[in-house]
């Protein structure tokens, strides 16, 4: 019996498959990288030292914070909240709300952001010098009834407001909401209808079922494209100069480049900043995806209940 | 016994007088002439059913006979096209006023569903919540029970279904049988007066069916009123007080399980039961063969 173990196949010690193609590709890439690095070092016009200097200048940093980062955060906040609301309206039983949601998406998805921002910046102020908040048709009512009050509670000076960062953020946010609505709608539709049924069978109303059961599961599908949208928004804040809001990364950097004739170093500086912000966002997206992937096998946060292979899905 | 919608319709007066008595002796579920069509296809052609308090009723029949649809009508996951359903004396989905029926609002519908627990074929647990959270969700959100109190009750219920050791497991980390037992605990957490089971063991591997049926047997023994759509003949024979055989949208035969299953009067019932038995036998033969190979 002792020699029976030697007859039975033991531990596998196989030779790996060779991959000569990988080595060829590595060689080609190394040569190309070498050529590029050499041009960086030998061509004085790149001037990376100046680029690094421009990156740290006060107007550039200010533009990065105020225009690009606050602009992105504000516009995406409006976009995500607005987008989810529009998506829920789109899927509602109320035909009027469905129609409103459709027209909104049709309009804001249809016009370029540059055009929208230019219109908000100069067009709206030309049409309406000021906007009064009060009772609808209050002024007409007041003159008709001969009253002194015109039912206005609050007045917005459009000419002062329309060239501010806030106006730009609202413009970008409204446009973003139209795209986010489609993403949120796809996410909501991706959740099995049995989930909403189970929630309503427990006595939850439609709002509770949406908020507590459907949306949290939809987030798993919504987060990756939203990360994409956020990174796109970082770049689209450069359109704020159409408002015109000039405390914005690209405007400030290229202004320095034009003034000092260091055009290419300025472009390098702005590219570096956009890449840095984009990288930080990608890390944030990773953690968000892990958070909303709870209970779906991948990256289960609770290691004690590691999922056994082949266990049934939900 | 084959009932057509016409002769199954009771006179309006007798219906009204019966439902006004919503005392303890009145049936908990009283369905009269329930009709339902999907895209012009009649799925339910006038179903009558009474379920007494504490009674277990099993709905049997071939797939497509309408038994699942009927179950879903009771808690308004489907709206009925004709007939009436009363649960505990309340007309389901409508209010009768000035001789007209008025639709209930979404909120009123949600309130009616609170007292009716439902267990689905595909479990439909909330995958982003742990077993405990699945059970506490509705009491906290719908009834406004305090978190601590809801959790204590949930732990009790999970113990009752044999899952006291799994409160923090996510559904994906549980077997099908365990998931279905969590789903039963989730429904019980709302303290329903009626439990609906829609083929609760049909999506399970054969070796996991027993653990779910055991929980349902315990529940029946505790006096829960249950309507169970099932293909498990053994469960129907042993646990049901009343068995209803449906085919093609009508009730073909109903009565005590020993009569309907043991001595069916109708050809359709007989051929259905025969089919079920031969499937059972095949399964048993397979098992026997597997056993003999193990030796």
Confidence of residue A294 (pLDDT cuts 50, 70, 90): confident
Is the pLDDT confidence value at A76 over 90? yes
Strands, E assignment, chain A: 130-134, 152-157
pTM of the model: 0.79
Provide the pLDDT for residue A125.
77
Q: What is the pLDDT of residue A126?
A: 80
Give residue A3's pLDDT.
53
By CA distance, what is A308's nearest residue in B? B173
pLDDT, one tens digit per residue, over A108-131 is 999 999 999 999 888 887 888 777
- Per the CB < 8 Å rule, is A307 touching B172? yes
User: Measured between CB atoms, which of A195, A206, A306 is closest to B124?
Assistant: A195
pLDDT band at A297 (very low <50, low <70, confident <90, very high): low
**Rounded alpha-carbon distances, angstroms, from residue B38 to A188, A242, B122, B166, B252:** 25, 55, 22, 41, 21
CB atoms A314 and B168 under 8 Å: no
Which residues of chain B register pLDDT less than 50?
A: 1-21, 295
CA dist A250 → A240, A257, B171 (Å): 10, 10, 49
Nearest-angstrom CA–CA distance, B15 and B10: 7
- Cβ partners under 8 Å of residue B67, min gap 6: B59, B60, B61, B229, B246
CB contact under 8 A, A197 and B77: yes
pLDDT band at A311 (very low <50, low <70, confident <90, very high): very low
Residue A156, CA distances (Å) to A153, A288, B225 in order: 10, 38, 63
Q: Is A304 on the interface with B (CB under 8 A)?
A: yes
- Which residue out of A197, A201, A294 would a mutagenesis test of the B interface target, given it has the greatest number of B Cβ atoms within 10 Å? A201
Please tell me the predicted confidence (pLDDT) of residue A234.
94
pLDDT of residue A74: 96
| Continuous segment of H or E residues that includes residue B262 | none
Say if residue A244 is preceded by a cis peptide, omega within 30 of 0.
Answer: yes
- Alpha-carbon distance B270 to B252, whole Å? 11
Give dist(CA B265, CA A112) in Å, integer: 74
Any idea of the CA torsion for A206, A207, A210, A215, to the nearest 10 degrees? 170
Mutation target for B interface from A203, A213, A296, A305: give the one with most B CBs within 10 A: A203
Total residue count of chain B as it appears in this document:
295
CA distance B58 to B235: 9
Read off the pLDDT of residues B39-67 as tens digits, 9 standing for 90 and up.
999 999 999 999 999 999 999 999 889 99
CB-nearest partner of B126 from A208, A213, A307: A213
Would the CB atoms of A311 and B107 count as touching at under 8 Å?
A: no
Question: What pLDDT was estimated at residue B293?
Answer: 61
Per-residue model confidence (pLDDT) at position B9: 42
pLDDT in tens, B171-198: 999 999 999 999 999 999 999 999 999 9
Across the interface, whether the CB atoms of A305 and B170 are under 8 A apart is answered yes
Q: What is the C-alpha to C-alpha distance for residues A192 and A313, in angstroms, rounded to an integer?
A: 13
Distance CA A281, CA B172 (A): 30
Strand B82-87 with B56-60, pairing: unpaired
Choose the closest CB to A204 out of B75, B110, B175: B110
Of A288, A174, A289, A184, nearest in space to A236 by CA: A174
pLDDT of residue B126: 96
**Does the ipTM surpass 0.90?**
no
- Rounded to the nearest integer, the mean pLDDT of chain A is 87
Lowest-confidence segment of A157-171, A180-194, A266-280, B211-225 by average pLDDT = A157-171
């Amino acid at each position: 019996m002792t020699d029976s173990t030697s007859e039975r196949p033991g531990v596998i010690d196989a030779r790996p498959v060779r991959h000569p193609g990988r080595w060829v590709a590595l060689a080609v890439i190394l040569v190309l990288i070498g050529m590029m690095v050499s041009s960086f070092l030998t061509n004085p016009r790149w001037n990376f030292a100046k680029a690094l200097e421009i990156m740290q200048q006060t107007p550039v940093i200010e533009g990065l914070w105020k225009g690009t980062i606050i602009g992105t955060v504000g516009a995406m906040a409006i976009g995500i909240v607005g987008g989810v609301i529009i998506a829920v309206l789109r899927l509602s039983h109320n035909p009027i709300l469905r129609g409103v949601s459709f027209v909104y998406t049709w309009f804001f998805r249809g016009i370029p952001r540059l055009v929208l921002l230019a219109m908000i910046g100069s067009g709206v102020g030309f049409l309406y010098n000021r906007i009064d908040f009060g009772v609808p048709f209050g002024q007409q009512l007041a003159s008709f009834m001969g009253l002194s009050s015109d039912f206005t509670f609050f007045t917005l000076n459009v000419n002062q407001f329309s060239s501010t960062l806030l106006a730009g953020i609202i413009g970008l946010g409204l446009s973003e909401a139209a795209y986010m609505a489609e993403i949120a709608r796809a996410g909501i539709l991706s959740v099995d209808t049995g989930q909403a049924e189970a929630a309503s069978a427990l006595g939850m109303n439609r709002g509770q079922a949406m908020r507590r059961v459907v949306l949290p599961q939809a987030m798993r599908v919504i987060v990756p494209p939203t990360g994409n949208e956020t990174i796109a928004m970082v770049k689209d804040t450069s359109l704020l100069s159409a408002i015109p809001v000039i405390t914005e990364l690209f405007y400030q950097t290229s202004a320095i480049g034009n003034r000092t004739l260091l055009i290419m170093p300025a472009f390098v500086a702005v590219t570096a900043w956009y890449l840095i912000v984009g990288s930080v966002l990608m890390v944030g997206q990773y953690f968000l995806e892990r958070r909303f992937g709870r209970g779906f096998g991948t990256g289960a946060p609770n290691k004690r209940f590691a999922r056994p292979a082949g266990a049934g899905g939900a | 016994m084959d009932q057509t919608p016409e002769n199954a319709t009771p006179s309006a007066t007798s219906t009204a007088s019966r439902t006004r008595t919503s005392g303890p002796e009145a049936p908990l579920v009283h369905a009269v002439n329930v009709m339902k069509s999907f895209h012009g296809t009649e799925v339910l052609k006038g179903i009558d059913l009474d379920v007494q308090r504490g009674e277990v009723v099993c709905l049997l029949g071939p797939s497509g006979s309408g038994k699942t649809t009927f179950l879903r009508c009771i808690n308004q996951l489907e709206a009925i096209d004709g007939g009436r359903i009363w649960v505990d004396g309340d007309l389901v989905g409508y209010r009768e006023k000035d001789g007209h029926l008025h639709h209930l609002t979404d909120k009123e519908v949600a309130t009616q569903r609170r007292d009716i627990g439902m267990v689905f074929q595909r479990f439909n647990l909330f995958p982003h919540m742990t077993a405990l959270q699945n059970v506490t969700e509705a009491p906290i959100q719908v009834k406004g029970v305090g978190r601590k109190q809801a959790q204590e009750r949930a732990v009790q219920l999970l113990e009752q279904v044999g899952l006291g050791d799994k409160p923090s497991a996510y559904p994906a980390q549980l077997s099908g049988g365990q998931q279905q037992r969590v789903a039963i605990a989730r429904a019980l957490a709302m303290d329903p007066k009626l439990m609906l089971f829609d083929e609760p063991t049909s999506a399970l591997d054969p070796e996991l069916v027993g653990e779910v049926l055991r929980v349902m047997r315990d529940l029946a023994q505790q006096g829960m009123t249950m309507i169970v759509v099932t293909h498990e003949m053994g469960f129907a024979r042993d646990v049901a007080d009343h068995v209803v055989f449906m085919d093609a949208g009508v009730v073909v035969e109903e009565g005590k399980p020993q009569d309907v299953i043991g001595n069916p009067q109708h050809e359709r019932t007989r051929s259905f039961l025969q089919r079920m038995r031969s499937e059972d036998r095949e399964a048993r033969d397979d098992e026997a063969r597997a056993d003999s190979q193990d030796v």
